[in-house]
Each structure stands twice: as C-alpha cells, then as structure tokens.
Amino acid sequence: MPDAPQDLDAWVADLAESLGLGADEHPIGLLLDLTRDAAHGVVRPAGPLTTYLVGLAVAQGMTVEDAVARTRATIAEWKADGSEPA
C-alpha cells in the first residue's frame, strides 16, 4: 500500500472528485495536524470525529481556517478544564 505524501494527495483528489467536490486545494496538512491535536489533546477517537465536525461547519459556510481555530481553542479549553484523560 502506498505511503508517500504524493499518494495522499492523489487519494484526496480522487476522493474529492468521487464525492462531487471541487478540485480546489484541500488543506491536508492543516486537517492532519488538527486530527492529531484532537487525538492527543482529548482522546484518540476524537481525531477523525473532530475533522468530520469541522467539515460540517465548513459545509455550512464557515471557513476551514476559522473552524480549525475554533476547534483548537475548544481543545485548549478542554485541556485547561482538566477534561483530558489521565
């Protein structure tokens, strides 16, 4: 199975096309970093779910940058409140 950045770029492009999404550049690095932040800052399964929720917010008109910033702020609040697992 391929495991190189260009393979990931090709996968995202093919999937976007299959889902009827535009060929716009998709912020792969930004989303992967956010997924990591949620997985390590909340709990591992929060990673993909967080990215999904960001996608829903973007679909409703929020910019991806704003959705990511708000999500990171929520992760920081979660950690500051001591809600992170021990």
Residue 13 CB partners (closer than 8 Å, separation 6+): 23
Q: What is the pLDDT of residue 5?
A: 72
Given a contact cutoff of 8 angstroms between Cβ atoms, the answer to whether 68 and 34 are in contact is yes
Vertex 22: Cα angle to 72 and 26 (nearest 5): 30
pLDDT digits (tens, 9 = 90+) for 3-61: 667 789 899 999 999 999 987 789 999 999 999 999 999 999 999 999 999 999 999 99
Q: Which domain holds residue 53?
A: 24-86
Q: What is the pLDDT of residue 25?
A: 81
Question: Looking at the 3D structure of the chain, how many domains does it have?
Answer: 1
**pTM, full prediction:** 0.82
Is 32 part of any domain? yes
Is 9 part of any domain? no
